[in-house]
Chain A
Amino acid sequence: MFGLVATAALTAALITAQMAGFTRLDFPLVLGTLVTEDPDRARVVGFFIHLLAGQGFALGYAAAFAVLHRATWWIGALFGGLHVAIALTVLLPLLPGVHPRMASQRAGPSSTAVLEPPGLFGLNYGVQTPAVAAVVHVIYGVVLGLLLRAD
């Protein structure tokens, strides 16, 4: 349950940043297009995949808090920072290798993949993408830290 709340907070912050024109990063779209090419449907499917993934990561956060025997908002924020560092430097750049609808930097004329590769730090989705991603992940960690401390 806590994972769902934290993921919802992350998603709300990300959508706000998108609407404000800070980034083109759209997790529900990127995840949903693993399943369907229709972006409208992809966003719905992707949202649930995102919630599920958020729940999985929350279990990881909970396990890490348990190892430390304490849960605080600032430890959650640190975990969020680590999480986003891995996401931006490892997960996003690897995505074109497995995503059927995302082009790679090596795409050629036969490529019908239409999602642009995010590039290192997701910079292809706007120069402020790393900052936005960092903020929303820190929010995610802070929310989990607060909720798990209260548990």
Chain B
Amino acid sequence: MTGPRPLAPISDYGLLGDTRTAALVSGDGAVDWLCVPRFDGEPLFGRLVGGPEAGTFRVGPAPPAPVVERHYRPDTATIRTTWAVGDRRLTLTESMVAEVTGRLLPATLLVRRLSAEGGPVDAVVEFDPRLGERHRRPRVRRRGGVLVCEWGSLAVSLSCAPDIAVEPGRPTSVAVTPGRPVTLVLAVASREPLVDVEPEAAWDAVLRDEARWQAWTAGIDGSLPFREDVVRSLLTLRLLTYSPSQAPVAAPTTSLPEDPGGMRNWDYRYVWPRDASIGVNAFLGVGKLDEAHGFLAWLLHASRLDRPRLPALFTLTGRRVPRERELAGWPGYLGSVPVRFGNAAAGQHQLDGYGWVVDAAWVFVQAGHRLYSETWRAVRGFADVVAGRWGEPDAGIWEVREAGQHVHSKLMGWLALDRALRIAETHRLSARQRRRWQQARDAIAEEVRARGFDPAQGSYVRSYGSEDLDSSLLVLPLLGIDGIESARVSGTIDAIRERLSAGGPLLHRYPPGHDGISGTEGAFLPCSFWLVQALASTGRRHDAEELFRALREHASPLGLYAEELDPATGAHLGNYPQTLTHAALVQAALAIRDSPG
């Protein structure tokens, strides 16, 4: 039934979310990805990387028709898609209900409403839930007008108004007439009873949620440059934050390919400390203190078992990330195999992580907040680790599977110690510890300037002894190790812009293919936003604005970004949408706002 329908381009997918899990819905109305009961749970609809056997939930015109309009309703998480069916219009309005606390609603509630204009339109409902790695079919029963699908402790229900006899795995036709919308409500219950919600009540819950999102976005500074893009990115960041722990998931998907047809397919349904840290900056920058505090609190809570060591990534509840494994029989997106669950990067030593986290604590202090003693104790522990281990090779920000002496990692180690010392000006610290940190910080600066800078290129390089450049070095102006007027800073920015250019505003993160993994990859979007930030913070505001405008052109039609783009075709690549890219976008806009240029 679902086999012949081709998969949509990644950028065709929109994000629906409730801050506990998220669904990806294509322009033809198919929810092709939804994990339950949370972001890193089992796929209920997994067609995106699992093929037709992995399940889907399509609601749209029958047969498929061209999309004439698709957008998020302003300042909300509700997507509205309109198809032209001859001279008639069919519109799907859909959302997940985020705020269920204190009310008798299921933890996950997806509401989809079809309406017609200009005359009746034939629509189709394809509801084919399959659970987990083996695409398990449910035990199906009907209770009144409600379809209930069960897999042991997990159950989902589908109710419709007016009543439609939907049968799992088979397309069901429905005629939508003007003035009589058809509402479908999917409810999920995991280890608890299902809660039946009348479609009208579910629709009211969506409208209340919309009002809540609009109130939330109304608090964002109206004079921000590129405010519309910033608001969409902030909403995306919030949708990708797991509310029960405040953990920002890197992306809601696994194994969307960086190299279509290749093996660069990773599971991003986990949390990287650097994403949380950049999130602290992004939310603080727009005055969203609760969200910034939530990210920082999660970071400190999650890292508690491993302190003073900082793992490279965590699960949503701060546990160890499952061992990486490959799913047998999953065809992958456009044949990109293997599809992976779990992530082997969890065991890596990444020195830069300490810098991001300590810097987030410093930003918090700078904003006028005093760190709790436990927070300061954690920061001290991280700084001690950096002071003791900065000379060791690490996997670096790009998580290469063979450790090296990465210049970006050393710079971030310097940042960790520098910011810890700044925090120590207003917090208790022993003289011995202070001396140790100062000595290590100065030693890093000396070594990086001597071994990590290539005078011939006038730029810092990727690793000691290498001539390769690295776009992550674009954070240089923000660190302060060299002044923003320094030739080392401007030389590094210019060299990266020129030599790692992928055309237009796009950058490679390092020379393509130089990472020991077969295949190549696209341009790395966070780096482009870091370039905007670097240009703005070194006084080149005009260039920064131009670049930002050019990058906007590469957003998906719904304003979302993956991690990478194919420079040749503009296709989005990698897991989607991506927290790091959206956080970098917000920071870029804030840098333009604060630019001295």
Contact = CB atoms under 8 A, between A and B. Distances in A.
Contacts of A107: 19-20, 101, 243-244
Interface in B10-56: 18-20, 37
Contacts of A103: 243-246
Contacts of B404: none
Given A23-B305, A103-B243, A108-B19, A114 B317 contact: no
Interface residues of A, number: 26
A104 B244 contact: yes
B216 interface: yes
Interface SS of A by simple majority: loop
Contact of A108 (B98, B301, B307): B98
B301 A116 contact: yes
Contacts of A24: 301, 304-305, 318
B294 A114 contact: yes
A53 interface: no
A90 interface: no
Interface string B292-316: 0110011001001111000000000
Contacts of A18: 304
Interface residues of B, number: 34
Contacts of B75: none
Interface SS of B by simple majority: loop
A111 B101 contact: yes
Nearest to A111: B243
Contacts of B319: 123-124, 126-127
Interface string A116-147: 11010001101100000000000000000000
Contacts of B318: 24, 116, 124
A151 interface: no
B212 A109 contact: yes
Contact of A109 (B216, B293, B320, B373): B216
A133 B306 CA distance: 19
A39 B301 CA distance: 12
Nearest to A29: B374
Identify which of B301, B317, B319, B372 gathers the most chain A CB atoms within 10 Å of its CB.
Answer: B317
Contacts of A124: 245, 317-319
Contacts of B98: 108-109
A112 interface: yes
Nearest to B320: A127
5 contacts: A24-B305, A39-B373, A103-B245, A105-B107, A114-B293
